[in-house]
Structure 1
Amino acid sequence: MYSAVRSSKSDASDNFTRQGSIRKVISIEPKENLFGRQNEDLNKLYKNFHQEYVILAEYKMIQSENIQGVYVIPSRENPFIWFGVIFVRSGPYEDGVFRFNVVLDENFPDSEHPKVVFLSEMFHPVVHPDTNEVHLLKAFPTWNKADQHIWQVLKYIHWMFYNLSPTIAHSVNPEAADLFANNQEAFRNKVKEIVKTSQEKIYDEPPVEDKHYLVFEPYNPEVHEQAKSTMLAQNSEEGVKCGFSWVLPGSFKPLGRPPSPDSESES
């Protein structure tokens, strides 16, 4: 009997040994820090949300600045690309309708200044002739997210079409700079060509499939007169609303606006 009992103990011991000890199942020093990975995922998620809020606040600032003749909207597919267009109302580029993209770095605002690239044909001292990118280093040599914003870049785009002389000192298009300085007639003729081209291409099909791409259509009284009347009626009312906003008026803090009453369909 003693022998049988000893055998049972031995079998039990063998069974326990085959299953392995707890130290073999769970390592004392795991190869992967699970909590560290969770923190990394949370930090990444927080960064993405924070970045979206920053971009939302930047767009709100542009609305409050009301830069005449300049219209921009972030792409529906990619918030780091904004579609823009400028209507020039006086000067050598008068009547030009020029399309451009504002391109944000993936680390924006912790990055260099945004890039501005014209999609329309362009002839300007501070627009690179090969890439159509605007030379912004003179205006924004270092990008400080606390003091500099996208609306200031758009202000510069607006300014450069109406103030050509100061741009000559930091030109990146030698031909444009030389003609402006030494042959105004030839310069104006060149500019007239691109203005005409911009007008001819204003109704072109969008080059990308994006619902936020700025599209223009020929004037249609049956459609546009009604829209015009509606807009004029809204402008005459007090407290005109300007689209959906999650930013409290007078503030640039994202999501700082309290929820709207149920009766208010727009805010």
Structure 2
Amino acid sequence: MMSGNSEEIFHRTGSFRRVIAPGNDTTSVSGIAVKSASKNNSYLNPNYVPFFLEYTLMSEFNILSKKTIPGVYVMPAAKTPFIWFGVIFPRCGLYKNGVFRFRIHIDSTWPDCDCPKVIIETPVFHPLVDPTSGEMNVRQHFPEWKKGVSRIWHVVDHVQKSFYDIPRTKNPVNLEAADLLKSDNENFMKKCQECVERSRTDVYKQPDHPESNDPHYILFEPYIEEMHGPSKRSWFLQKENENKNPPLSWVQPGSLEPFSRPNA
């Protein structure tokens, strides 16, 4: 028997998360849930609505996992499906070699809601990122969030691309960054490099906000030879062995005849 509000219901890690079916269609189940909640239909118990909502969000995460966006790692919170934790490692551009944490906040009215909110936790000098709150202006890219069409992976992909291709937007939230990008590119690049260096220094610090206490929050620790060395050497040895063993073939090099390669 379930009781209490929806937030209390979400404060658990149940087996329901382990039976999420793959697929791209997350609208039918959520449509039933929202319709039931809004029109008080009798064919679905209102107590099940939070679980249907969580189901659709975990389906969204399945879709994101299959996209494998380079240099980006995302994990839904353990305590609530409405917050996802992420880290981006830019591999080129002005923010190359930086480590930038971010959070995705999804409205509890999902999927009948606006675009999810993105908070960049690591201080970054960027025209789209508010220097005080850290919120990235992603709604400019998603002016209309369409149920069943707009996906959370689209938001993550946009965040990643914003670190590589910095837009000269007409509606910046960081005016200083926008002005420097337009008029003084050298100083803009200097500010970006400062952000990269700071991110690499602060990566081992746990941020001081309630969400960082979640069991799924992504944390880093310094390299310790005694702890990480054996795994590192094992990975290198495995790669070395793979390079030593050529792929199995029964065709003599330069020939098209099957089974023409002599036995070693």
The alignment's TM-score, normalised by the length of structure 1, stands at 0.68
Q: Deviations over 1:80-99 (max 9, x none)?
A: 11111111111111111111
Deviation, structure 1 residue 220: 2.6
The partner residue of 2:218 within 214, 219, 232 is 214
What is the number of residues matched between the two proteins? 198
Match of 2:162 in 1: 160
Q: Which amino acid in the other structure matches residue 87 of structure 1? A: F
**Per the alignment, do residues 40 and 203 of structure 1 end up closer, same or farther by CA in structure 2, a change over 3 Å counting?**
farther
Match of 2:192 in 1: 191
Match of 1:126 in 2: 128
Q: Deviations over 1:121-173 (max 9, x none)?
A: 12101112232111112211111121111111000001011111x34334222
The partner residue of 2:54 within 52, 55, 69 is 52
Deviation, structure 1 residue 188: 1.1
Q: Where does the alignment leave 5 or more consecutive residues of structure 2 unmatched? A: 1-39, 243-264
Moved more, 105-114 or 217-226: 217-226
**Per the alignment, do residues 94 and 50 of structure 1 end up closer, same or farther by CA in structure 2, a change over 3 Å counting?**
same
Counterpart Cα distance in 2 of 1:167 and 1:45: 47
Counterpart Cα distance in 1 of 2:197 and 2:155: 26
The alignment's TM-score, normalised by the length of structure 2, stands at 0.68
**Per the alignment, do residues 168 and 221 of structure 1 end up closer, same or farther by CA in structure 2, a change over 3 Å counting?**
same
Q: Which amino acid in the other structure matches residue 224 of structure 1? A: H
**Per the alignment, do residues 41 and 192 of structure 1 end up closer, same or farther by CA in structure 2, a change over 3 Å counting?**
farther
**Are 1:103 and 2:105 an aligned pair?**
yes
**Per the alignment, do residues 40 and 231 of structure 1 end up closer, same or farther by CA in structure 2, a change over 3 Å counting?**
farther
Deviation, structure 1 residue 184: 0.8
Q: Deviations over 1:86-123 (max 9, x none)?
A: 11111111111111110010111210010001111121
Q: Is the 8 A contact 2:127 2:178 kept in 1?
A: yes
**Are 1:78 and 2:76 an aligned pair?**
no
Counterpart Cα distance in 1 of 2:188 and 2:145: 32
**Per the alignment, do residues 40 and 122 of structure 1 end up closer, same or farther by CA in structure 2, a change over 3 Å counting?**
farther
Q: Which amino acid in the other structure matches residue 88 of structure 1? A: P
Deviation, structure 1 residue 223: 3.0
**Are 1:87 and 2:94 an aligned pair?**
no
**Per the alignment, do residues 60 and 227 of structure 1 end up closer, same or farther by CA in structure 2, a change over 3 Å counting?**
farther
Q: Is the 8 A contact 2:72 2:87 kept in 1?
A: yes
Counterpart Cα distance in 1 of 2:69 and 2:237: 20
Q: Is the 8 A contact 1:206 1:213 kept in 2?
A: no
Counterpart Cα distance in 1 of 2:130 and 2:237: 41
The partner residue of 1:142 within 141, 144, 153 is 144
Structure (1 or 2) with the larger CA radius of gyration: 1
Match of 1:3 in 2: none
Q: Is the 8 A contact 1:72 1:84 kept in 2?
A: yes
Q: Is the 8 A contact 1:84 1:100 kept in 2?
A: yes
Match of 1:68 in 2: 70
Q: Deviations over 1:173-212 (max 9, x none)?
A: 2111110111011111111111111111111135332211
Match of 1:246 in 2: none
Higher relative contact order (CA 8 A, sep 6+): 1
Deviation, structure 1 residue 232: 8.7
SS at match of 2:169: helix
Counterpart Cα distance in 1 of 2:145 and 2:111: 8
**Are 1:169 and 2:157 an aligned pair?**
no
- What do you get for the CA RMSD once the two structures are aligned? 2.5
Q: Deviations over 1:190-249 (max 9, x none)?
A: 111111111111111353322111011112334334445369969x99xxxxxxxxxxxx
